[in-house]
């Protein structure tokens, strides 16, 4: 089955905050100076991506989910931070969820313009990219939310933009829209090197994962990130 082949590449993110009173949706972003279980899990994810990278050049990684509320944004943020701090490489974090941009809120910064503005030719890319407080990490916010970003995603401007940014940054992480019920991710998947699918343990049904995978180029799926795991994978998916 497809799910078994994909799950062989799962990275299991333990809910390191389960002893705290902070719900998953309110987790603060990581700092490399703080050694926690969750930090090490993201480092494991980074290491697995590096081992998958090989000669394939997975510089542009889209992080998505089957639907909203599964932790794709916090996964994007924390992975980008770990990659910037651990590898000392230049990392760009893009908010590609143009229906509901949120990346700038994790960093407490204003998003006066962003990806939407660049793709609409209302701003240039240099003015839209902003620095973060994390060394080696820059942000490209989503900009003003739009109801139907499909045309912007399908625009050749996006592909040209990604190619241009690949020359300036070592890694690009894109917080992408959920797969269901929109077609945005199937289009965005054509301009990235690899895709990570975030699912929430004990919440996301296997059938939903299988349905979501049908909308992706499976050759581009690098693996599945199992968020808030408390049980063995075999009990959840097999």
Domain extents in the chain: 2-21+32-237
pLDDT in tens, 127-175: 999 999 899 999 999 988 888 888 898 889 999 999 999 999 999 999 9
CB contact burial 186-219 (16+ within 10 A = b; e otherwise): ebbbebbbbbbbbbbbeebeeebbeebbebbeee
- Where is pLDDT greater, at 175 or 200? 175
CATH of 2-21+32-237, one of 3.30.1370.100, 3.90.1150.10, 3.40.50.12140, 3.40.50.300: 3.40.50.300
pLDDT in tens, 42-69: 888 888 888 776 545 678 999 999 988 8
Q: What's the pTM? A: 0.82
Token pair listed for 110: 């204003």
The answer to whether the beta carbons of residues 190 and 53 sit under 8 Å apart is no
Contact 215/183 with Cβ under 8 angstroms? yes
């Amino acid at each position: 089955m497809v799910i078994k082949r994909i799950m062989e590449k799962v990275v299991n993110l333990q809910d390191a905050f389960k002893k705290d009173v902070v719900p998953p949706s309110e987790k603060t972003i990581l700092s490399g100076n703080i050694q926690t279980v969750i930090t090490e899990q993201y480092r494991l994810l980074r290491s697995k991506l590096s081992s998958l990278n090989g000669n394939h050049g997975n510089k542009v990684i889209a992080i998505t989910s089957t639907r909203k509320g599964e932790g794709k944004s916090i996964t994007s943020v924390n992975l980008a931070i770990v990659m910037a701090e651990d590898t000392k490489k230049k990392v760009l974090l893009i908010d590609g969820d143009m229906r509901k941009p949120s990346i700038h809120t994790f960093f407490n910064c204003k998003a006066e313009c962003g990806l939407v503005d660049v793709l609409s030719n209302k701003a240039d890319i240099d003015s839209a990219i902003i620095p973060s407080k994390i060394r080696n990490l820059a942000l490209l916010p989503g900009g003003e939310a739009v109801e139907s970003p499909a045309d912007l995603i399908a625009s050749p401007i996006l592909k040209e933009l990604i190619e241009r940014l690949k020359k300036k940054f070592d890694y690009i992480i894109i917080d992408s829209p959920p797969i269901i019920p929109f077609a945005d991710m199937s289009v965005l998947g054509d301009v990235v090197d690899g895709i990570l699918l975030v699912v929430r343990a004990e919440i996301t049904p296997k059938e939903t994962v299988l349905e979501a995978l049908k909308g992706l180029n499976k050759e581009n799926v690098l693996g599945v990130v199992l968020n808030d795991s408390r049980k063995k994978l075999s009990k959840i998916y097999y």
